[in-house]
Structures are given as structure tokens and as C-alpha cells.
A and B are shown apart, each in its own frame.
Chain A
């Protein structure tokens, strides 16, 4: 794994999650941010800040990305979601097109 193959997602509280680009691109919104032409800061540094998404939710989303990749490659497991997270998670998923 090379450093260029990762992206840094930053939560509302400034917590950082470093994940594979491949995983992040499960989200259509992040995919667009990272692959759009032009010299956006997001594309250049591989850093995306989400001032609207709390740390707990962002971590859950990162877990989902990896789960999604595994699922797509045939490893079908369940993805557990705590009931108290569902509403915020759905709003974030809507925003991220995930």
C-alpha cells in the first residue's frame, strides 16, 4: 500500500481516518471529490473534511466502506448498526451517496 493510495477523512471534531482510496470510493460523493478534474485541495492532498459528520458516524461509515468491499468480493456477512446511530447514519449516507 502506498501513501498515495489512501485518503484522510476528517470528522467534525477533527478526528482523522486514513483509509484506502478504493474503500472511500464506495461513496459516490467522495469519488467525485477525488476524481474531478482541476486542482481541488481534496484531489491534491487526498484529504476531505466533513464538518457535518461526527466522529462516531464517520468511523461507522469507514467500517461500512470496508464491509462493502468484502461483501462485493463474495464474503457475505452482516453489518451491525446500533439503533441509536441509525438516523444520523442515514443522513450521512444520503449526503455521501452511499
Chain B
């Protein structure tokens, strides 16, 4: 399965198994973003639950295609708020007389 880890305008598709722990996921993210696992916090987007390192994905209802928010530790040692940018491209900003295709 895969999960989608999102922060700001970036989405990481992470391949994983339900039996893997959240720490396993953070280690995979560490390779991609160079942030130590201790400075990462993962939050299941649909429920708002902060995911615990030692528990598995299955334990915490993280399923295939789940969206997980990534927040990083700031300079003042606190974690930043969840911030996921959403595209407003769809329909709203499209030229009704025909798009850019």
C-alpha cells in the first residue's frame, strides 16, 4: 500500500505495509527530507490524531491512500501547525471559454 504525506505544497507518496510502525515511515521520510525523525510529527488527516512512533499503521487506522500531515519542529522547539495547501485550480480559476489545453 502507499500513504500520502503532505506538507505545504508537497506530497510524498510513501510505499509501506500496514504492519510497519510510524517510526519506520519517519525513517523513510528522513531519507527524503533530511529531517531527523525526532523533528517530525505525523498526523492522520482524516481524524486529526497524532500518530505514535511505536504503534503500527494498522493500529492507528492508517490505510492505503490515507493522507498524513507532516509537521516539523520549529526553532523554538515547538511543532508547527498542520499546513496543507490545496489547489484551487479546479474549475474556479479555469477559463470557462476553454482551458489551456
Contact = CB atoms under 8 A, between A and B. Distances in A.
Whether A and B are associated in the same complex: the answer reads yes
Interface of A: 1-3, 6, 11-20, 23, 52, 54-56, 59, 62-63, 66, 91
Interface residues of B, number: 18
A43 to B, nearest CB: 19
A18 B87 CA distance: 17
Nearest to A54: B89
Contact of A54 (B11, B28, B85, B90): B90
A3 B31 contact: yes
Nearest to A22: B15
B13 interface: yes
B32 A15 contact: no
21 contacts: A6-B32, A11-B89, A12-B89, A14-B9, A15-B10, A15-B11, A16-B9, A16-B11, A17-B10, A17-B13, A20-B13, A20-B15, A23-B13, A54-B90, A56-B87, A56-B89, A56-B90, A59-B4, A62-B13, A63-B65, A66-B13
Contacts of A20: 13, 15
Main secondary structure of the interface of A (DSSP, over half): mixed
B87 A52 contact: no
B10 A16 contact: yes
A76 B12 CA distance: 24
Interface string B87-100: 10110000000001
Contact of B31 (A1, A16, A17): A1
Contacts of B13: 17-20, 23, 62, 66
A56 B85 CA distance: 12
Given A66-B13, A91-B101, A18 B32 contact: yes
| B15, B28, B65: most-surrounded residue (chain A CB, <10 A) | B15
